[in-house]
Amino acid sequence: MRFLRLIRAGFVVNVKMLATSSFFMLIAVAQPVIFATIAYYMFLSGGREGTLLYASLGAGMMGVWSTTLFASGGMIQWQRWQGTLELGVASPVNLALVYLPFSLANSFTGAYALAATLIWGRVIFGVPLHFAHPWLFVLAVPTVVLSLALLGLLLASTFVLYRNANAMSNLLEYPVWIASGLVFSTAILPAWTHPISWILPPYWGIIALRHAAFGGGVWFPLSMALALGVISVVLATFTLRWFEHLARARATLALT
């Protein structure tokens, strides 16, 4: 019960903070729409009219990833600036539990991107929103968002020590878009990159969403996304504990 109260309180506070941030609204709503528009025109230019929904889903997932990445990268840094990092670290509950609701809120805010690109594609480009498995799509969206949130927690844990987390956030945005094949198939990438794709929850997440939209097996990719998310949270529990110990030993916890 205490666990659920902690999750709810952290989630609500962080959603409110993100919802009042124009930066995150830009990343979660405006940026995916811009990328979706670019992808639409590129697909139209190449004669791929039938893949506009493909572009919408991909651009939406790009927005979910960007929001998760930047919010996870900034999460620890903002706590430093606000002077609340020490309070979070010193709190009696496990540090992973303190930051799990923050990660959930980050990805939840990122889910606006999916809605924004689907609505934008429908209204501006007339993209037909006909899903092969509508109920599985409804199930897949929160599951994929959850898996990305859990990966975000793992990222945030590594940023406890790394004071240039924002630079790392900038660097990781495009590579994950590429390796996950969010707006194009990973089949056009070199074969050596495929194992990298397989360990990324967004890769399985976008496959699950595409299969739910266009037809195909949804359960396997969805299970893979969730399993990788669970592995991420287990790893995050250990890395947070380890990095917290290192930050205390080096007295770098609160340094900006």
Partner 1 sequence: MNFARIFFVGGLISYRALFNWIRPSMYIPTMLGSPLFQLIFFTKLGQFAHAESPDFYIVGNSVQVAAMASIYGMPMSIANAR
Residue ranges in contact with partner 1 by CB under 8 A:
39, 42-43, 45-48, 164, 167-168, 170-171, 173-175, 177-178, 183-185, 188-189
Pick 48 or 122: Cβ nearer partner 1:
48
Please state, as a whole number, how many other Cβ atoms lie within 10 Å of the Cβ of residue 229: 25
Give min distance, CB of 173 to partner 1, in A. 7
Pick 175 or 215: Cβ nearer partner 1:
175
Give min distance, CB of 76 to partner 1, in A. 17
Q: Under a CB-based contact definition with an 8 Å cutoff, are residues 107 and 72 in contact?
A: no
Pick 22 or 45: Cβ nearer partner 1:
45
Q: Under a CB-based contact definition with an 8 Å cutoff, are residues 213 and 132 in contact?
A: yes
Give min distance, CB of 34 to partner 1, in A. 13
Classify each residue of 38-57 as buried b or exposed e, where b means 16 or more C-beta atoms within 10 Å of its C-beta.
ebbeebeeeeeeebbbbbbb
Pick 55 or 146: Cβ nearer partner 1:
55
What one-character-per-residue DSSP string does 73-93 give? HHHHHHHHHHT-HHHHHHSSS
SS3 content of the chain, % helix, strand, coil (to 5): 80, 0, 20
Give min distance, CB of 41 to partner 1, in A. 8
Apex CA 23: angle with CA 17 and CA 24, to 5°? 60
Pick 47 or 92: Cβ nearer partner 1:
47
Give min distance, CB of 255 to partner 1, in A. 15
